[in-house]
Amino acid sequence: MKKQILVVDDELSILKLLNFILSKDYDLIIKQNGADAISWLEDGNDPALIISDLEMPYIDGGSFIRNLKISGFYRNTPVFLLSGADNLEKIVAQMPFRADCYFKKPFNPSELKSSIAEALLQQDVTN
């Protein structure tokens, strides 16, 4: 059975790219904003990993991650952050809740895939 990854991004091109590079190995759940993703999670869904854009409508990536970590339910779920922001390192450093990994758009698909595999392997080891 494939592990489930929640992907939250408002850019259709990024969603298509992530679907193309990840859907062979993982069951992807696609949401186009943080509000829809939170609603999906509140329905009792528990993905193995979450990939979120930083800049989205309704609820931005930083607020989305904060909500995940405060809830307690997803504090051990790896969260990857994607962003096209020029000052991504500074933004991530100032976030009160950390993403497990972050990638600047455009990102290297091979690096993303290997980071996901490593995070999921670490999660299996700790559980």
Mean pLDDT score, 37-42? 94
Single pTM value for the model:
0.91
pLDDT in tens, 71-107: 878 888 999 999 888 877 777 777 767 788 999 999 9
Mean pLDDT score, 52-75? 84
Mean pLDDT score, 40-69? 89
We report the CATH number of the domain holding residue 49 as: 3.40.50.2300
Rounded Cα distance between 33 and 59, Å, is 7
Residue 69 domain boundaries = 3-126
| Number of separate domains in the chain | 1
What residue type is 1 in one-letter code? M
65, pLDDT greater than 70: yes
14, pLDDT greater than 70: yes
